Amino acid sequence: MTSNFEFVDYVCEQLASAGEITYRKMFGSYGIYMDGKFIGLICNDQFILKPTSVGRTILGTPHEEAPFDGAKDWFVIEDLDNNELLRSLLLATWDELAFQKPKKRKKAHT
């Protein structure tokens, strides 16, 4: 489930034309964020995008697999050199995804 950091850096560079791309290490993988929204993962040196109906329309018949045991299938993005496709796919995906609601902090017991 681990990924090579050079691959993470490469993917983030390829996605940068769509917006501000950041990542966060999580459970041996990397969570990928675009303009503050969680849009995908990098695990096993693969970029895996959250599935959306607009993403499916853009990709046609995408390669799909679960990023981890028990998860639903996500889109595996294999063509990381097609900047126009990546940009349109990410912008459309970003528009369809909602921001995650901030988790409520537990009150400290005194």
Domain ranges, ordered by start, for the chain = 5-96
As given in the structure block, the two tokens for residue 28 are 């041996």
Instruction: Please work out, in degrees rounded to the nearest 5, the angle formed at the alpha carbon of residue 24 by the alpha carbons of 41 and 9.
Output: 75
Sheet holding 29-34, edge to edge: 21-26, 29-34, 37-43, 46-49, 74-77, 64-65
What length is written for the chain? 110
Sequential pLDDT tens for the chain (110 residues):
567 889 999 999 999 999 999 999 987 899 999 999 999 999 989 999 999 999 999 999 999 999 888 889 999 999 999 999 999 999 999 999 876 666 666 666 65
pTM of the model: 0.84
Query: CA 27: distance to chain centroid?
Result: 15
CA–CA distance, 8 with 41 (Å, rounded to integer)? 10
Cα torsion angle, 22, 24, 25, 30, sign: negative
CA–CA distance, 61 with 55 (Å, rounded to integer)? 10
Q: What fold, for 5-96?
A: Yope Regulator; Chain: A, (3.30.1460)
Give yes or no for a contact between 46 and 32, defined as CB atoms under 8 angstroms apart: no
